């Protein structure tokens, strides 16, 4: 166990459990498009931000160390994956409601679209969360459409997140995509899409509903990389 993990176990056992869960995230690198890989690996670090509201010691430096711990342990596990010798990998930390980590096999392209701003370090992504209250993200008007209804309509329309589902909910397609992302329903919706033989959707793309610059850090791991 690393010093960070051991210290965190004493300071905040719940966040320590979350860290272990993220570090053990299941990988799947099947498919030609890296977004298919990201669908399995990406994790929103919401618990880090939730506990940051409650513990002043979760500052910028601690956030950086937390992500470094995830990436270090992921690298150790990636050596056992098929793309290790064939192609290598790309690891990401990007800006979302909470910092989000992911890893994809090298395919020659980034899995994400939109107004991406590539930054040189994880610190440049994580500094955007300093002083930002996690609870404050959810202040204001309640959701226009209940979570359960969105999931039900996506299932009823065989995984569609397009016009038929949006019409059934009485909202625009772009708004539906934003709600799925903001509610944290992306994984659940993509599970439904998989069931109906649809390609996983990338909810960083919102079809022009909004154009927000997203800070993203990319680390490329060549085939046969050494720790």
For 129-173, write each residue's pLDDT tens digit. Answer: 999 888 776 665 556 788 889 999 999 999 999 889 988 988 888
Confidence at 33, pLDDT banded by 50, 70, 90: confident
| In the predicted structure, residue 86 carries a pLDDT above the cut 90 | yes
Q: Any residues with CB less than 8 A from the CB of 60 and at least 6 apart, and which?
A: 123, 126, 127, 130
**151 in Cβ contact with 185 (< 8 Å):** yes
Q: What is the pLDDT of residue 52?
A: 97
In this prediction, residues 75-89 reach a mean pLDDT of: 95
Q: Is the pLDDT of residue 16 over 80?
A: yes
Nearest to 222 by CA among 89, 32, 115: 89
Residue 205 pLDDT? 46
| Cβ burial 91-120 (10 Å sphere, 16+ → b, else e) | bbbbbbbbbbbbbbbbbeebbbeeebeebe
Task: Report residue 68's pLDDT band, with 50, 70 and 90 as the boundaries.
Answer: very high
The pTM assigned to this predicted structure is: 0.73
How far from 194 is each of 13, 36, 226, CA to CA, in Å? Answer: 34, 10, 34
34-47: average pLDDT: 90
Task: Tell me the average pLDDT of the chain.
Answer: 89
Select from 72, 71, 120, 80 the least CA-distant residue to 100: 71
Q: Are 96 and 44 in contact (CB under 8 A)?
A: yes
Percentage of residues in the chain having pLDDT higher than 90:
60
């Amino acid at each position: 166990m690393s010093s960070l993990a051991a210290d965190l176990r004493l300071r905040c056992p719940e966040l320590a459990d979350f860290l272990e869960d993220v570090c053990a995230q299941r990988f799947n690198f099947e498919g030609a498009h890296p977004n298919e890989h990201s669908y399995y690996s990406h994790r929103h670090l919401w618990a880090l931000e939730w506990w940051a509201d409650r513990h002043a010691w979760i500052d910028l430096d601690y956030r950086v160390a937390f992500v470094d711990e995830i990436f270090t342990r992921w690298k150790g596990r990636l050596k056992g994956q098929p793309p290790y010798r064939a192609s290598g990998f790309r690891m990401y930390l990007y800006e979302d409601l909470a910092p989000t980590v992911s890893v994809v096999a090298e395919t020659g392209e980034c899995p994400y679209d939109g107004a991406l701003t590539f930054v040189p370090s994880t610190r440049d992504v994580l500094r955007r969360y300093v002083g930002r209250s996690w609870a404050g993200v959810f202040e204001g008007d309640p959701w226009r459409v209940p979570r359960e209804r969105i999931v039900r309509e996506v299932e009823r329309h065989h995984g569609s997140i397009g016009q038929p589902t949006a019409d059934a909910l009485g909202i625009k397609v772009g708004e539906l995509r934003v709600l799925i992302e903001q509610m944290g329903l992306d994984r659940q919706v993509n599970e439904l899409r998989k069931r109906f033989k649809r390609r996983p959707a990338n909810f960083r793309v919102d079809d022009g509903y909004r154009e927000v610059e997203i800070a993203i850090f990319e680390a490329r791991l060549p085939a046969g990389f050494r720790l």
